[in-house]
Structure 1
Amino acid sequence: MDKRGQGLERMARARGKAPTILDIAAEAGVSKSAVSRALSGQGEVSAEARERIERAARELGYVANAMARGLVSSRTKTVGVLLRDVTRPFYAWLQVAMQRAAEQRGYQIVTVTSAGDLEVADALQSLKNLVSLQVDGLVVSSARLPSEKIVPFIDRVPIVVAGRRETSRGITSVFCDDADGGNVLADHLLQLGHQHIAVVLVEQSYSLSQYARGVAMIGRIRAAGRTPVVWEAASDREAARVIASELDGAGVTAIMCPTDAAAVDVLELLRQRGEAAPEDFAVTGYDGFGPLSTPYLGLTTFRQPVEEIGRTSIDLLLDRIEGKTDQDRLVELRGSLVEGRTAAEVLPNV
């Protein structure tokens, strides 16, 4: 049989079942142990044999079985990541940062997410599915999943929570200080002379992080001797609708939103009303990264160190997996004010 015929035969065989190292050994004319040594990078194999083995593996479409490797080494070199909603910039940027950090240390990531808000029951099932895949560790980034739902898994696999403070035993967390961010933004508006400030407060059950920053804004305004106007919303996506029903007659000069996306929705609402920021109202957001952070848009916001959160979460998890530490840690990262142009000093006649 000529080479073309042999190639067609190999392709037909590959379609029938997944190729194994036995198939590679037969194709390359070497022993099974030689294939194992060459593909794992462990042990001595001649350069000529390694070339034949690698060529055979490529032609057969061989893919190493991570789970089988894990049974031998007790590790799969795979990390499970649970993300709440990848359509939101925070989770998308976080995923990129974690992927990059994991690859640099020789690990791969299996991500479970949703094209919308991942409900608690769905997030819990996804967590179980990741554990069943025998991942070496888990990063959980879902502001909606309560701590008590995570705790039962800590004895089965190392876990890091990314994006919010976590105080439960056995769980490391990496997060931006939301209280600090809320305080910084409120101080900025107070320094600009705003006396009547509205805060959109998101329900705690929807997002612990958004709720925490809203509570901090309210507390800071009160501490300055002012009375904040609190508009409660089921989520940041409901902010503009709530504001539309409350704005007339409220007497506020500034509106503090829980996220940048909510702030953009509010800016569009003002445009439809024939108003603008900062001329009619100061508007602030929260997040400060991605397309909504561009100088062209010029949002006044608080920037979370999302790339640092992602990178640090992976590094701490892998250190735990590799036995470099067995201590739980709370890593509180600081963000920074982005002054932007949607908030300005209050004019004397306001």
Structure 2
Amino acid sequence: MNRPPTMLDVARAAGVSRSTVSRVFQNQGERVSPDALIKVHEAAKRLGYVHNLVASGLAQRHGRQLGLLIRDATNPAYGHLHSEVNQAVEAAGRTLISVTAFRHDYGTAEVDGLRRLLGQRVAGVFVGTGVTAAEDLVETLTAVPMMIVGRPNTHPLIESVSYDERTHGRLVAERLAAAGHRRIAALTAPLLYSRVFDLRMRSLVDRCRELGVHVEAVDLLPVEAGVTRALDAAAADRLSAIVCPVDYVALDLLRAARARGTRVPEDVSVVGFDGVADGLDLIGLATVRLPVREVARRAVERMEELLIRAQEDPEGPPAALTETSGSERTARHALVVGDVIEGASLGPVPEHLR
């Protein structure tokens, strides 16, 4: 070995996880079995591993707090993500500090919030927002591990554990086609408003084209006018279904439909995305349920790995740079698929439109 041994080398030699080695040297063997403790110490002695006391001291002072930049917590999807991340962080023996960006704050407000979190000396930070571009987030990178959680991301310098929104859009398109729908409306919004909405709807449209389903794009904004335009388009252009980029828009559309006497799904079907708000089962909204708990669990688990690596090499590159390819290091990106919820708001094509 041409370099000093690391915790990972010790873990491999002992046949245990790197987190176990970390607990042996940084937490006096807390929650480590006697057999594993002996294996780790024997492997460390054999390899000549010397624990980095400086990194350990930094971890003891600042390593228990993690930060979360979250988008508009009044949106049930973000509120649920906040709750699940907090629970997963607490289960890992840490605490969470959060900063919330409001729905109509774009770009700079979120970056400012992220810098405030980093100023709190957090050990690592999660970014749960669908607005700020990864290119802007990169400008805030420090030696503190950063991870995008929830929204899809492919940036090579920022780790992510996200909902597979491209697959979600395709699943909705396939469900509509299977129900016989061949002409539908899709409420769309600018990329700046929500990168998540944009990805969902672009994926839906692309899959609909492959399946021979015509999609009429309807401008979502402002939402009150957008749902009215969608209902008008459905009536005028013989569209049998309306797809909304998020459940709270679908609920506004259901209210507007009831006000004008349009029956759902007898006159037009309605589908949303998110599936996390309470009572959707009572309403019968067809939607895609986001795998929020699984994403939060995996994100915190991965953050633990990044923190261990950052402690091993506190002067090295940002801990998000973890996968080596040749001479370059790139971040890992995980996608988790949710479930299609069969609701009463999605029915067959109305008789008069067949």
Q: Where does structure 1 lack aligned partners over 5 or more consecutive residues?
A: 1-40, 43-68
- 1:93-132 matches, within 5 Å, as 93-132=80-119
Distance 1:161 1:195 in 2: 36
Letter in structure 2 aligned against 1:321: L
Distance 1:207 1:185 in 2: 19
Distance 1:80 1:304 in 2: 22
Cα distance change of structure 1 residues 78 and 72 upon mapping to structure 2, 3 Å threshold: closer
How far apart are residue 337 of structure 1 and its match?
A: 0.8
2:205 equivalent in structure 1:
218
2:342 equivalent in structure 1:
339
Distance 2:151 2:224 in 1: 20
Distance 1:98 1:212 in 2: 23
Match of 2:171 among 166, 176, 184: 184
Q: Is the 8 A contact 1:158 1:317 kept in 2?
A: yes
How far apart are residue 310 of structure 1 and its match?
A: 1.6
User: What TM-score comes out, normalization by structure 1 length?
Assistant: 0.75
Distance 1:78 1:343 in 2: 44
Say which is worse superposed, 82-91 or 233-242, in terms of deviation: 233-242
2:132 equivalent in structure 1:
145
How far apart are residue 247 of structure 1 and its match?
A: 4.3
1:17 equivalent in structure 2:
none
**Identity of aligned pairs, percent?**
27
1:312 equivalent in structure 2:
298
CA RMSD of aligned residues (A): 2.4
Cα distance change of structure 1 residues 237 and 249 upon mapping to structure 2, 3 Å threshold: closer
Q: Where does structure 2 lack aligned partners over 5 or more consecutive residues?
A: 1-26, 29-55, 311-318, 324-330
Cα distance change of structure 1 residues 330 and 82 upon mapping to structure 2, 3 Å threshold: same
Deviation per CA, 1:240-285: give whole Å up to 9, x if none. Answer: 2442554441221100110111111111110011112101100000
- 1:129-208 matches, within 5 Å, as 129-208=116-195
Cα distance change of structure 1 residues 210 and 79 upon mapping to structure 2, 3 Å threshold: same
1:323 equivalent in structure 2:
309
Deviation per CA, 1:187-242: give whole Å up to 9, x if none. Answer: 11111111211111121111111111101111122112232111122476764244
Letter in structure 2 aligned against 1:298: G
The residue matched to 2:126 in structure 1 has which SS?
strand
2:12 equivalent in structure 1:
none
Q: Is the 8 A contact 1:160 1:171 kept in 2?
A: yes
2:77 equivalent in structure 1:
90
The residue matched to 1:231 in structure 2 has which SS?
strand
Q: Is the 8 A contact 1:239 1:262 kept in 2?
A: no
Cα distance change of structure 1 residues 119 and 70 upon mapping to structure 2, 3 Å threshold: farther
Distance 1:106 1:185 in 2: 38
Distance 1:306 1:192 in 2: 27
The residue matched to 2:127 in structure 1 has which SS?
strand
Letter in structure 1 aligned against 2:294: E
Letter in structure 1 aligned against 2:301: D
Deviation per CA, 1:159-181: give whole Å up to 9, x if none. Answer: 11011222222211111111111
- 1:251-290 matches, within 5 Å, as 251-290=238-277
The residue matched to 1:280 in structure 2 has which SS?
coil
Q: Is the 8 A contact 2:267 2:350 kept in 1?
A: no
How far apart are residue 115 of structure 1 and its match?
A: 5.0
Match of 2:67 among 62, 80, 83: 80
Q: Is the 8 A contact 2:208 2:214 kept in 1?
A: yes
Cα distance change of structure 1 residues 119 and 281 upon mapping to structure 2, 3 Å threshold: same
Cα distance change of structure 1 residues 238 and 75 upon mapping to structure 2, 3 Å threshold: farther
Structure exhibiting the larger radius of gyration computed from Cα positions: 1
Structure of greater relative contact order (alpha carbons < 8 Å, 6+ residues apart): 2
Say which is worse superposed, 333-342 or 110-119, in terms of deviation: 110-119
Distance 1:258 1:218 in 2: 12
Matched residue count: 284
Distance 1:109 1:296 in 2: 33
Letter in structure 1 aligned against 2:309: G
How far apart are residue 75 of structure 1 and its match?
A: 2.6
The residue matched to 2:161 in structure 1 has which SS?
strand
Distance 1:110 1:253 in 2: 46
Q: Is the 8 A contact 2:243 2:272 kept in 1?
A: yes
